[in-house]
Each structure stands twice: as C-alpha cells, then as structure tokens.
A and B are shown apart, each in its own frame.
Chain A
Amino acid sequence: DAKTTQPPSMDCAEGRAANLPCNHSTISGNEYVYWYRQIHSQGPQYIIHGLKNNETNEMASLIITEDRKSSTLILPHATLRDTAVYYCIVLLTGTASKLTFGTGTRLQVTL
C-alpha cells in the first residue's frame, strides 16, 4: 500500500470548513483513498473513501486531484465534536486490506 503524508496538526474555527490535506504521490491506479478519525478513548470512525472521483456523504467531502497524488478531506461546518486525529490511508483493491494508521493530523476545532 502507498504511503501517505499529513500535516501533524491543524486548527479550525467552529462553523468554518476544515480542509485536511493528504499526499499520496506513490498511489497506484487500483488503490483507494480512505479517511478515518479517532476521538480520544473511542474507536476509529470511518468517514469516507474514494478511487478517483470526488465523493460526498453526510459527514464530509473527499476531493482527489486528477493525478491522484493528493487529496483533501473537507468538513464543511466544523464543530467542537470534530476535534480528533484524522488518518488518511491508501488501500489496494482485490487484497485483504488491513488498516494501519500513520501519525495522522490532529485537528483542533476552537470557538
């Protein structure tokens, strides 16, 4: 699975959009981009995933660049409850893909 690079921390004001970047320059054509988050003392929470098209669900939007070398997770209206560590992962299709988390981005949402 391709490696990912994320900034270690970010701040966002409550009510504003949080844009979390992820670099995956070695991604291959059949690898999906996944985003999870983990709030302290809870299990990881699946947010969204995509292959090459932009995706949106009730939680967030995922924007993948045309060359697929990077992506951005967008939380449209961040709240204090969105304060968490966000993990960007790349998983290969057709295999038993076991999740591993890097260091992620610690998002702090403030008043």
Chain B
Amino acid sequence: KAGVTQTPRYLIKTRGQQVTLSCSPISGHRSVSWYQQTPGQGLQFLFEYFSETQRNKGNFPGRFSGRQFSNSRSEMNVSTLELGDSALYLCASSLFALDGNQPQHFGDGTRLSIL
C-alpha cells in the first residue's frame, strides 16, 4: 500500500512569491492534515481537511491556505512568502477525522527554502 506522497520534495523561492504544495494521502484515507516543522518551533499544526472541508486550523496567518479535493488529495498554498516560512512542510493522512484515536501517517515533506 503506497504511503503519503508529497510533491515537490524540495523547493526554492524568493520573498514575495507564492507556492503550492501537493499531498496525496494513503488510499482510503479521508483526513489530511498539514504541519510546519522548523528547528526552532518544532512541529506546528496548520490545518486539517476532511471531506473537502477544513475542520481545524492552527495559529498561522491567512497567507497559509489549503484545500482538499473529492479524491482526498490536498494542496497547501502560501502567498507572499517570507524568510521565516522556510521549513519542512509535512502532510499527514488518517482514515477518519482526527479524534485522538486516529494514527496520522506522514509523508516525507516538502522542504521549502526562501531566499
């Protein structure tokens, strides 16, 4: 069974640009969550999508947005990139909506570098 697939693996952008990251969950999984991981802040929750609806959102500015398609694939968009957005962006999928008893399975992430 294929795992969570994230594309691209690496991305270099400059300040002010925007970026779209893609995530394909494990087949049959309907919930997709996005996280930002940095050495200083650790793992931070961005948002969760289930059945094409955003269920939960973390404390990130509106520049960070996402969506989920009917096949459960998800995209995350960051507009007006800042140097501080440099991070590893992780996508995690789970069978059902997050409820504390749903293991989340992660992809290997997209490493975004802002110049």
Contact = CB atoms under 8 A, between A and B. Distances in A.
Nearest to B108: A43
Contacts of A45: 106
A94 to B, nearest CB: 6
B66 interface: no
Contact of B104 (A46, A100, A102): A46
- Interface of A, secondary structure class, is loop
B58 interface: yes
B99 A94 contact: yes
Interface in B63-93: 90, 92
Contacts, number: 65
B56 A96 contact: yes
B103 A100 contact: no
Contacts of B102: 97
Interface size class of B (residues with CB under 8 A): 20 to 34
A100 B100 contact: no
Contact of A98 (B4, B45, B97, B109): B45
A91 to B, nearest CB: 5
Nearest to A42: B108
Nearest to A87: B43
A100 B45 contact: yes
Given A96-B56, A100-B42, A32 B106 contact: no
A44 B99 contact: no
Contacts of A102: 42
20 contacts: A31-B100, A41-B108, A43-B4, A43-B92, A43-B106, A43-B109, A45-B106, A46-B106, A93-B100, A94-B100, A96-B55, A96-B97, A97-B99, A98-B48, A98-B58, A98-B98, A99-B35, A100-B42, A100-B43, A102-B42
